[in-house]
Amino acid sequence: MLTLAEIMETIKMVQEENLDIRTITMGISLRNCADPDPRTACRKIYNKITRLASRLVAVGEEISREYGIPIVHKRISVTPISLIAECSHQEDYVEYALTLDAAAAAVGVNFIGGFSALVHKGFTGGDRVLINSIPAALAGTERVCASVNVATTGAGINMDAVYLMGRVIKETAARTAEQGGLGCAKLVVFSNVPEDNPFMAGAFHGIGEPECTINVGVSGPGVVKNAVARVGNADFGTLAETVKKTAFKITRMGELVGRLAAERLGVPFGIVDLSLAPTPAVGDSVAEILEAMGLERCGTHGTTAALALLNDAVKKGGAMASSYVGGLSGAFIPVSEDAGMIRAVEEGALSLDKLEAMTCVCSVGLDMIAVPGDTSAETIAAIIADEVAIGVINNKTTAVRIIPAPGKKVGDKVTFGGLLGEAPVMAVHPYSADNFVRRGGRIPAPIQSLTN
Amino acid sequence: MYVQEPKKNRIIVTVLGPDRVGIIAGVAQVLAENNINILDISQTILQEFLAMIMIADMEKSYIDLATLKERLAAKGSELGVQIDAQHEDAFRFMHRI
């Protein structure tokens, strides 16, 4: 029989410490929707999404009510559109984005991911069309998220794609200038992208995935922070053990909700993503966990070590709690979506360089970073190149979601609202990397790719 | 591991709020009216507040969990306390392997 203390612990996690299921994401394969006639393809896409996801939101709300655990988002990821649209020989794929947007609206989900291309070794015709369509697609839709994988440990870094993404990000910012460059908040550049990530904006339904699946992302920085605060000045072994046990409990909720959702929707359960995902709400911050470990401010010396401990302990606890773990599975450090990160930047404790170092030991990367509006495409490409190099060499996922906020300077703030929060504009290095970025071609796969 | 249908399963009813006469009676009445069997009751005083927990069986319940939650919430506002009901698995999954 459960004890009173156990029951109260669970209730406290939900009511006071912001424990929630961040997202139930339905992955849908669109591979049988390709058609030489784009109208037919779009009709098939719309019909398939609205058919498979028709009950997604209702089932999510039903589980949330019965089990008393908030499920914040219900979302959809689809096969990378570059693969589906390619056979229709169009000059842009905006129509596909509009179709995804309409289907997402019809079933009531707030984001749909998969306006994506995988170009780590090179571009196909369809990949180029898709990437060139991203600025218009993100400016013309509300719910569509785009991502591009530009590097893998096995293939190296497609520097042509890196440079192209620098320009695409600039254009996306320009096209959504009135909303502070909001389009860029829905665009992620990846290395070693996972195919089953449930979190936006980088979610898509990979080509090795089944017809339809349910992936779950949990969230509980507040719970971990309070657990860390309770152990006081205990040694690192105790600290790691505490985080591990807490992560186990959080992940069990994700496992339960994922299994229930999959069962009720009649689709296979995919994975639980173990990432600690913060929100702008006070007390739901990864930075505050690091500060509770004994750092005066996130970003000071010791931050990378603290984050490494946290991320590892979360994985160890989470892996035991779930039968299938996947996605990104690591602590997120998005600046604009984390109140503690925002404060650290505003107080000068956290710089872009320190963030880059932190991404070596956690997922995902430079996430939701606002930089001055006059930052050049070449500089953005160089920032991407650095970040994906970390991923390629360390055999992990890294990503860049950067917003060159139009008209903004260092010290200004960009507000996106809702879960995307608000980002203080951060300084970039003034020295040029133009000649490096413009070389073109591919950085070869590193020696650690030769594992066979 | 499989997840049972909530209709056939056990729930945890939690009551939080200032202590007063008639709380257990009020909750028990709602459960009895709907043919829900109480299996266990425990309570404690946390920071001057009553925390009461009931484990109940909805196997033969006349109503579903969503409806029960509404009725308990209504009874709670009548009694000046917060009453909720959740499927037992939400707790069992977290604390038991």
Count interface pairs A-B at CB distance under 8 A.
Answer: 66
Residue A120 in any domain: the answer is: yes
Q: What confidence tens digit (pLDDT) does each residue in A287-346 have?
A: 999 999 999 999 999 999 999 999 999 999 999 999 899 999 988 889 998 999 999 999
Q: How far is B85 from chain A (nearest CA, A)?
A: 8
Range of the domain at A389: 217-440
- Say what the pTM is: 0.91
Residue A448 in any domain: the answer is: no
Task: Verify that A114 and A163 share a domain, yes or no.
Answer: yes
CATH code (residue A95): 3.20.70.20
From chain B, the residues in CB contact with A1 under 8 A are 40, 55
Q: What confidence tens digit (pLDDT) does each residue in A67-92 have?
A: 989 999 999 999 999 999 999 989 99
Task: Verify that A157 and A260 share a domain, yes or no.
Answer: no
Among A1, A245, A248, A252, most B C-beta atoms within 10 A, so best to mutate, is A252
- Select the highest-mean-pLDDT range: A219-228, A271-280, A435-444: A435-444
Q: What confidence tens digit (pLDDT) does each residue in A163-185 have?
A: 999 999 999 999 999 999 999 99
Task: Verify that A177 and A232 share a domain, yes or no.
Answer: no
Q: 3-state secondary structure string, chain B?
A: CCCCCHHHCEEEEEEEEECCCCHHHHHHHHHHHCCCEEEEEEEEEECCEEEEEEEEECCCCCCCHHHHHHHHHHHHHHHCCEEEEEECHHHHHHHCC
> Which CATH number is correct for B13-95, 3.40.50.170, 3.30.70.260, 3.40.190.10, 1.10.10.10?
3.30.70.260
Q: What confidence tens digit (pLDDT) does each residue in A97-128 have?
A: 999 999 999 999 999 999 999 999 999 999 99
Residue B6 confidence (pLDDT) above 50: no
Q: What percent of chain A has pLDDT over 90?
A: 85
Task: Verify that A258 and A361 share a domain, yes or no.
Answer: yes
- Summarize the confidence of residues A419-443 as an average pLDDT: 94
Query: What does the mean pLDDT of chain A come to?
Result: 94
Q: What confidence tens digit (pLDDT) does each residue in A253-263 have?
A: 999 999 999 99
Q: Lowest mean pLDDT of A137-146, A356-365, A369-378, name the range.
A: A356-365
| pLDDT value of residue A279 | 86
Q: What 8-state DSSP symbol labels residue A275?
A: -
Higher pLDDT, A288 or A10: A288
| pLDDT value of residue B8 | 57
Q: How far is B90 from chain A (nearest CA, A)?
A: 6
| pLDDT value of residue B1 | 42
- Summarize the confidence of residues A22-42 as an average pLDDT: 96
Say whether A339 sits in a helix, a strand or coil: helix
